[in-house]
Amino acid sequence: MLDSRQFPTATVTDAEFALGSDRFERLLPPTVPGEFTFEDNPWVRLSSQVLNEGIGTEHAFVQREGVDIRAALRHIGALMQSACDDARKVAGAACLFSTWFQYVRIGGTTAATV
């Protein structure tokens, strides 16, 4: 997990949020640890679900201290809409979710925890 102070959220325009960014490299973490490439990682499962289904009202996010939840979700949303390949998006988003959020609930189930 990265330190949220070392990798802050990027400013994402409305167009980037809706359509993705052609500058997706700035949205990806500088390095993604190998743990975020395995499907049994709960953050990877969450990222795969968000990539395929989007973020819905059943998701409840609890951000880490100092993280702007709206900025973090816009950043991840823009990454998911970007032109990079799905494997990089999922791994990068999983790493970012774990960096910026303590846990996420989907319905009544905790999808990922610290």
Would you give per-residue pLDDT tens digits along the chain (114 residues)? Answer: 566 667 788 888 888 888 777 788 889 998 899 999 888 898 998 899 889 888 777 778 889 999 999 999 999 999 998 888 999 999 999 999 999 998 777 666 655 554
Amino acid at 103: Y
Phi and psi (nearest 5°) for 6? -85, -25
Please report the pLDDT score of residue 23 as a whole number. Answer: 80
* Cβ atoms of 97 and 1 closer than 8 Å: no
Task: Give the span between the Cα atoms of 67 and 60, in whole angstroms.
Answer: 15
Residue 54 falls in which region: left (phi positive, over 0), alpha (psi -120 to 50) or beta: left
Helix (H, G, I), strand (E, B) or coil at 72: helix
